[in-house]
Amino acid sequence: MRVKVLGSAAGGGFPQWNCGCPNCCGVRDGAIKARPRTQAQVAVSSDPSQWFLLNASPDLRQQILAAPELSVTSSALGSPISTILLTSADVDCVMGLLHLREFHPLHIYSTLSVKRILTEENSLFRVLTRSNPPVRWSTLSFDSLIPLTPPSSPGAKDGFFFKAVPLLGGFPDYVSDSLKGSLPSEEAVIGLQLVHKEKRFFYAPSLLGLGEDLQRSVEESDLALLDGTFWKDDELIAAKRSRRTARDMGHLPLWGERGMLKRPFRPGKTKRVLIHINNTNPVLNEESPERLAVREAGWEIAYDGMEFEL
Ligand SMILES: [Zn+2]
């Protein structure tokens, strides 16, 4: 299995267009050692002719153009992209679907709630039904592994299997109260475990807590890309960018009491990597003490173009 990080920042990217925080100013004028990043996007594949997208970021068009593996090489072969798995209905996870609208038949996997949010309340996404055949939605169920086979080779034996893992988290602010009230909360935010042969990859770019079940999902995986959005719970309040804490926004902070870096992961086979890094997070500065603390706690930090072969 190949896992390719096409984008590694949280919503807004790094630098964020309207942000004057020390990180964003520092990367713009070269005063800090840091890489610019596009918004979180991951693609996985076991066969060069087929790539699965995990979410569809607002930067998706640019990210596809920057990845030769994902480009169209002939009109006969077409695009290696047709299947997208969504972890939530957040703007950062779904806006890129609109980049894929060019009459291309798509297969989208999401929870029923995410499908309802996008198809019942947001008529813009009806643009995806113009393809022939129109977009196909499959709703995710929890806990059991199901095959993820491309339409070109249904029933392929060496394909991917995957399961959705319910995570704590809320529905996006833009969803109406009336629809929100009718949706089961466990369908708001999920993690994805993808399995190919003996290898497991766990993806959870938004994560509010890490219970025992979830910790087990991470520890049984060969690779885990997890929520690294904020360093501190009050990060955006201190930066005067929001009145909400990291936890209010559905993200377990890295530092502080019960933070992600404090979790006692079993040392073992799992490569643990932080993704979805907000532009205010001091770990983006490669010479910061926070960056060193991440490394000392056994984590890596994702960057655009990072790749894993499992
Ligand atoms: Zn910033």
The string of pLDDT tens digits covering residues 243-260 is 899 999 999 999 998 899
Cα distance between the two ends of the chain: 5
Q: Pick the closest to residue 284 from 307, 302, 296 (CA basis).
A: 302
| In contact, 276 and 8? CB cutoff 8 Å | yes
What's the CA-to-centroid distance between 32 and ligand 1, angstroms?
A: 13
What's the CA-to-centroid distance between 21 and ligand 1, angstroms?
A: 4
What's the CA-to-centroid distance between 279 and ligand 1, angstroms?
A: 4
Q: Pick the closest to residue 186 from 223, 149, 214, 162 (CA basis).
A: 214
| In contact, 168 and 209? CB cutoff 8 Å | yes
What's the CA-to-centroid distance between 289 and ligand 1, angstroms?
A: 18
- pLDDT confidence bin for 30, thresholds 50/70/90: very high
Alpha carbon distance 93, 57 (integer Å) = 5
What's the CA-to-centroid distance between 23 and ligand 1, angstroms?
A: 6
Say whether pLDDT at 151 is over 70.
no
Say whether pLDDT at 157 is over 70.
no
Q: Return the sign of the alpha-carbon dihedral for residues 118, 123, 128, 132.
A: positive
Alpha carbon distance 279, 276 (integer Å) = 9
Mean pLDDT value across residues 64-77: 91
What's the CA-to-centroid distance between 136 and ligand 1, angstroms?
A: 37
Q: Pick the closest to residue 188 from 156, 160, 166, 203 (CA basis).
A: 166
Q: What is the pLDDT of residue 158?
A: 65
Alpha carbon distance 252, 249 (integer Å) = 9
What's the CA-to-centroid distance between 259 and ligand 1, angstroms?
A: 22
What's the CA-to-centroid distance between 73 and ligand 1, angstroms?
A: 37
Alpha carbon distance 293, 55 (integer Å) = 29
Within its chain, how far is the Cα of 74 from the centroid?
29
Give Rg (Cα) of the chain.
Answer: 19
Alpha carbon distance 77, 74 (integer Å) = 5
Q: Pick the closest to residue 92 from 232, 179, 205, 1 (CA basis).
A: 205
What's the CA-to-centroid distance between 230 and ligand 1, angstroms?
A: 12
What's the CA-to-centroid distance between 15 and ligand 1, angstroms?
A: 6
| Structure tokens belonging to residue 132 | 């022939």
Q: Which has more pLDDT, 24 or 73? A: 24
What's the CA-to-centroid distance between 282 and ligand 1, angstroms?
A: 10
